[in-house]
Amino acid sequence: MSGKVVLHYFDGRGKMESIRWLLAAAGVEFEEVIITKREQYVKLMNDGALMFQQVPLVEIDGMQIVQTKAIMNYIAGKYNLYGKDLKERALIDMYTEGTIDLMDLMMLYYFFSEDKQKRLSDIEQKAKERFLPVFEKGLANSDFLVGNQLSRADVHLLETTLMLQELFPTILSTFPKIQAFQERMKALPRISKFLQPGSARKPPSDEVYVKTVKEVLSHLFK
Ligand SMILES: N[C@@H](CCC(=O)N[C@@H](CS)C(=O)NCC(=O)O)C(=O)O
């Protein structure tokens, strides 16, 4: 195993995108092995790399880590994106889980062909009424969601709100603190670099991505 950070996943956002965001925010260079064929997935399993027969898989510091949260916790801990003490960490975890709940809804949206409009309305309503007000309040008196420094919660919030705006361009119009937060975050050099075309950031899911995932994980989509 080389000293490089290597990501094994599909050529799309899915469960790997927040990991890409965290690495970018931490200024960590990484390589990607893109899974396009079922044989690659089966080989990773046969090699013993997938503890629960699932990707994402990340090679880092001589380890092969699976489970998205375990991977993100490691990166956040290592690169000082996880607060100054356990209490800050608990709050960061709460905000983080909220962003994951919302991002999961959006991720699943692309995989279903039925009830698209209803799913979309549901995401919009939950975002406006349940999730965004929490983050707006969290940013009322501070530039950061937790404490006085950047944490993974901020990185996840930027990712989530940009993703939301792809589906609902005006959704932040009644959330001025989040809008200002976005501008501050986008101006950070590492984030700004990640937002440039040609970076490792992936576009929204499309038909090719969904088809590839369904082929590689054909046992799930019979
Ligand atoms: N709890 C795991 C879930 C990972 C997961 O469901 N990965 C999917 C691809 S996005 C997978 O590899 N599924 C194969 C399977 O469940 O058999 C995580 O968060 O990493």
Averaged pLDDT for residues 136-142: 97
Residue of higher predicted confidence among 21 and 112 = 21
Strands (E), the chain: 5-9, 30-34, 57-60, 63-66
Asked if the interface predicted TM-score (ipTM) of this complex is over 0.90, the answer is: yes
Q: How confident is the model at residue 217 (pLDDT cuts 50, 70, 90)?
A: very high
Task: Say how far apart CA 22 and CA 41 lie, in whole Å.
Answer: 24
Ligand 1 neighbourhood includes 98 CB (under 6 angstroms): no
Ligand 1 neighbourhood includes 55 CB (under 6 angstroms): yes
Q: Note the pLDDT of residue 3.
A: 82
How far apart are the CA of 189 and the centre of ligand 1, in A? 32
Q: Note the pLDDT of residue 222.
A: 77
Residue closest to 121 by CA, chosen among 136, 109, 133: 109
Ligand 1 neighbourhood includes 8 CB (under 6 angstroms): no
Residue closest to 76 by CA, chosen among 160, 151, 157, 4: 151
How far apart are the CA of 50 and the centre of ligand 1, in A? 10
- The verdict on 95 and 154 lying in the same domain is yes
Task: Say how far apart CA 221 and CA 92 lie, in whole Å.
Answer: 35
- The verdict on 95 and 164 lying in the same domain is yes
Q: Note the pLDDT of residue 1.
A: 58
pLDDT digits (tens, 9 = 90+) for 178-212: 999 999 999 999 999 999 999 999 999 899 999 99
Q: Note the pLDDT of residue 23.
A: 98
- The verdict on 51 and 33 lying in the same domain is yes
Q: Note the pLDDT of residue 64.
A: 98
Task: Say how far apart CA 146 and CA 152 lie, in whole Å.
Answer: 10
Domain that holds residue 66: 5-79+195-220
- Strand, helix or coil at 104? helix
The torsion region of residue 14 among left (phi > 0), alpha (psi -120 to 50) and beta comes to left
Mean of the per-residue pLDDT values of the chain: 96
- The verdict on 75 and 90 lying in the same domain is no
Residue with CA closest to ligand 1 atom 11: 54
Task: Say how far apart CA 1 and CA 173 lie, in whole Å.
Answer: 47
Averaged pLDDT for residues 168-178: 98
Phi then psi for residue 137, to 5 deg, are -65, -40
Residue with CA closest to ligand 1 atom 15: 54
Ligand 1 neighbourhood includes 14 CB (under 6 angstroms): yes
Q: Note the pLDDT of residue 111.
A: 79
In the chain, % helix, strand, coil (3-state, to 5) comes to: 60, 10, 35
The token pair that represents 144 in the structure block: 């950061």
Does 148 score more than 80 pLDDT?
Answer: yes
Query: Percentage of the chain surpassing pLDDT 70?
Result: 99
Ligand 1 neighbourhood includes 217 CB (under 6 angstroms): yes
Q: How confident is the model at residue 2 (pLDDT cuts 50, 70, 90)?
A: low
The total number of structural domains in the chain stands at 2
Q: How confident is the model at residue 143 (pLDDT cuts 50, 70, 90)?
A: very high
The token pair that represents 46 in the structure block: 């046969």
pLDDT digits (tens, 9 = 90+) for 47-84: 999 999 999 999 999 999 999 999 999 999 999 999 99
- The verdict on 50 and 96 lying in the same domain is no
CATH code at position 46: 3.40.30.10
Please check whether residue 94 is in contact with residue 189, taking contact to mean a CB–CB distance below 8 angstroms: no
How far apart are the CA of 53 and the centre of ligand 1, in A? 7
Residue with CA closest to ligand 1 atom 16: 54
Exposed/middle/buried for residue 8 (C-beta within 10 Å: 0-12, 13-18, 19+): buried
Q: Note the pLDDT of residue 120.
A: 95
Does 28 score more than 80 pLDDT?
Answer: yes
CATH code at position 143: 1.20.1050.10
Please check whether residue 98 is in contact with residue 134, taking contact to mean a CB–CB distance below 8 angstroms: yes
Does 214 score more than 70 pLDDT?
Answer: yes
- The verdict on 56 and 115 lying in the same domain is no
Task: Say how far apart CA 155 and CA 163 lie, in whole Å.
Answer: 12
- The verdict on 92 and 181 lying in the same domain is yes
